[in-house]
Structure 1
Amino acid sequence: MTAPTSWRPAVAADLPVVGGFLSDPEFFDRVAAIPPALLDQAMAEGHAGPFRLLCCGPIGTPEAFAWLSGCDTPGPKIEEFGVLERGRGVGSRVLPQLLAHLEGQGAFAFVWLKVVVANIPAIRLYRASGFAREWRVPAGWIDRNGYETDILRMEHDFT
């Protein structure tokens, strides 16, 4: 088992890994495009602005990342949660750590996300990590391949 790691603000050395994941056509049916300027803005603002890019793991070789919006509200959205090496239990280990990191900041009442209904492994992971409330949104997203798909909106409360 891998030693525990912690979540931290992303730095420039993390961008090639994160960008590689975000631009991989394998994920176009479930991962949104994030403009590089927003990633840069999030890194410049650290934990002060509405956007955050967090990484888990060593600088330059993170094992996971989270892209959040609405961090200036009581309920930010996890726009993207990416695990760089899937199928090895990394997501099950680091998502609860991410939630603890966000809760520990004391600024948020809940976090939420949207997930494509066909992404069953992700839905199982989110449910197992405490995302208890969910709503189905028909035709709630158009993926980067141009297909319209249903999504689940899922929430995790910190209260």
Structure 2
Amino acid sequence: MIVYLVPLIIIGGLTSCGVYLLLSRNLTRMLLGLLLAGNAVNLLILTVGGEAGNPPIHGRTSGAETTTADPLAQGMILTAIVIAMGIAAFVLALTYRSFRLTTEEDVGNDPEDTRVSKLSESDAASIDEDAPQPVSARDTDEPDELDALPGHEGSR
């Protein structure tokens, strides 16, 4: 098997650019990064799928090829393209909704997350102690009025 370095370098470049854009706070850049990373994965699947060959249809030939092309890689890429377009439409809808609500495209920090991150460890421990603890005596293996009992006359 011959390894071609140029497609692998292109795939690496697309992946790194996609990840860089995904880490941005701008929703449009995040969408572009998602699409770049998806296309890089599609190219990787196509590259790993093997060399070209005869069509995977019985009785069809293509030139002087002796092997049959693997249809799995092409099917996976088509499925990935459809999924990527669905995700892109969803992210575009989120971007549009966010822009209509805040007239900004950048995602800001959540105030509650910022407040919790500023708490010291002792404050966080005291909050955990104040939280209600589950009562283990409530849940038993004995049947009660909420259980569906097999053979019960009312369930037929």
TM superposition score category, shorter chain reference: under 0.3
Largest Rg, 1 or 2: 2
* Structure with higher helix content: 2
* Structure with higher strand content: 1
